Structure 1
């Protein structure tokens, strides 16, 4: 009996060493892949421990995913060495502005006599620019506004032009728009700025800097204009689907829960994200997945290394999960 116990203990010891070696290898790979350089050894040790804690959480979740008990997979990405509070501080706006119907020209509701397709992906129609990266700046509101305008401009004019988020970051802080640059803002007020301003510059003429600077708008480089702003009927996923199918991609607000930080793929189903919205995205389609069910196809602004090449499929028809249908807008061009 003593021999058996000793043997089992030895196996456990070897497994522990093996797992530790795997974690160390994954840590080194993570640093290389994402170009992580830390100020000193103490900082690196702290980041290493945070990485290990997050990796253990990811592995635990993925066991449930493999067993069919979760609909989405988590994975290591550029945020795996960050605490939840750090991630929120760096990537999510500190000012969450409540949207108002006064910003819009009309409310879109689902037409009663119009059938919409079971799925749509505006990327396949050439209507969506590549995934962008907001960097360590809470400027998601600007990327969401630009995302819907780029697509709406393409649908009307058959020209896909990358537009300037920096233009919005620098120029829409004054009244009546009152956005807060990297500290947050409103995608509806960003569209209102473009409407009143007479247009927005192109990305090429006014590149992104991930920090608020002085306004340098130049009407010679306008890439698109807005003549009116529509808001989708609040909290109506059916109206949201109709708007996406009939009119094209639109901007929306969501709540980012802890698990979304490490999302890798699948249909993100997280009932815990029924909280006030804290992030803005662009909805470019919807569909159905055999494992995860109905989903929204969402373009994020955290770079292409996150999620499904920069996209996330979010649960659809699950009581407005993450409040995705609470604040959805699109421009008329």
Structure 2
């Protein structure tokens, strides 16, 4: 009996040692793939431990996914050496909804529209630009506002134009917009600035810099103009689908606290709150045979995150993650 116990203990030790070796090798590959360079050996060891802990979390989740207990898969990406708290601090924003008010003159009128198709994907129309990367600046709100505007500019003018997120980051911190650059902001305030300002600069003139700078808007390099924006009725997922189908991509602000390791499938997480800390662009919607109804959302964490920079979020599940609570699209002129 003692011999059996010793053998089992040795097998367990060998398995644990092998798992550690595998994680160490995967961490080495992770560093190379994502160009990770740490300041000293102490940070390297700290990042390796965080990576190992996150790999255990990912592995456990994916076992549930393989068993049909989860609707989405997790995977390794450039955030895998970040703790959950660090990810939230660096990549998500602190958005307060206290000041937000619906503009009753510009609320989307869903009753004036016919029924909606079963699925929509604006990427196939040529209206959707490539996925961008906001870097370490909390400027998701600017990328969301610009992302929807670039699509609507194409739909209105038939022209592909890359517009300046940095213009918004630098120039909407003053009255009456009060966005907070790399800390937080709202897409409706971004659209108010573009409307009041008489336009937004092109990205070629005013490139993204991943940090806040002084405003240097130049009216000689305007890339697009708007007359205003339309608000989707708060929390109404059918109205959001109608707007996406009939008008084009829509800027939305959501709770993305659990997005860190998303890889694919339909993100369905009932613990997703009604708070908001991130903004994306809804480019379509559809139904997955395993995950059910979903929203197709374009993120701003680069094309190597999620499904080529996209996430499919649960649709028609009680406005999960506040997907339809703060949704807007611009009116291009």
Cα RMSD (Å): 1.3
1:152 maps to what in 2? 152
SS in 1 for 2:280: strand
CA contact (8 A) 2:95 2:276 kept: no
Matches within 5 A, 1:66-215: 66-98=66-98, 100-101=100-101, 105-111=105-111, 114-215=114-215
In structure 2, runs of 5+ residues without a counterpart are none
Provide, for residues 270-292 of structure 1, a one-character-per-residue CA deviation record: whole Å limited to 9, x for no partner: 11112311111111100010110
Structure 1 residues 325 and 120: alpha-carbon distance in aligned structure 2, compared to 1, 3 A threshold: same
Distance in 1, matches of 2:289 and 2:98, equals 35
Structure 1 residues 126 and 109: alpha-carbon distance in aligned structure 2, compared to 1, 3 A threshold: same
94-103 or 64-73, larger mean C-alpha shift: 94-103
2:220 maps to what in 1? 220
1:89: how far off? Answer: 1.2
1:97: how far off? Answer: 4.6
1:94: how far off? Answer: 3.0
80-89 or 68-77, larger mean C-alpha shift: 80-89
Runs of 4+ in 1 over 6 A off after TM superposition: none
SS in 2 for 1:294: strand
Distance in 2, matches of 1:33 and 1:174, equals 40
| TM-score normalized with structure 2 length | 0.97
1:268 maps to what in 2? 267
2:10 maps to what in 1? 10
Distance in 2, matches of 1:154 and 1:293, equals 30
Provide, for residues 1-23 of structure 1, a one-character-per-residue CA deviation record: whole Å limited to 9, x for no partner: 33332222222122111111111
1:165: how far off? Answer: 0.0
1:295 maps to what in 2? 294
CA contact (8 A) 2:255 2:321 kept: yes
CA contact (8 A) 2:113 2:242 kept: no
User: Is 1:58 paired with 2:58?
Assistant: yes
Q: How many residues align?
A: 332
CA contact (8 A) 2:51 2:81 kept: yes
Distance in 2, matches of 1:265 and 1:229, equals 32
User: Is 1:307 paired with 2:306?
Assistant: yes
CA contact (8 A) 1:99 1:188 kept: no
SS in 2 for 1:332: strand
User: Is 1:240 paired with 2:231?
Assistant: no
Provide, for residues 97-123 of structure 1, a one-character-per-residue CA deviation record: whole Å limited to 9, x for no partner: 546335574101323650211000001
SS in 2 for 1:275: coil
2:317 maps to what in 1? 318
| TM-score normalized with structure 1 length | 0.97
Distance in 2, matches of 1:113 and 1:85, equals 43
1:25 maps to what in 2? 25
SS in 2 for 1:10: helix
303-312 or 105-114, larger mean C-alpha shift: 105-114
User: Is 1:281 paired with 2:247?
Assistant: no
User: Is 1:36 paired with 2:62?
Assistant: no
In structure 1, runs of 5+ residues without a counterpart are none
1:221: how far off? Answer: 1.1
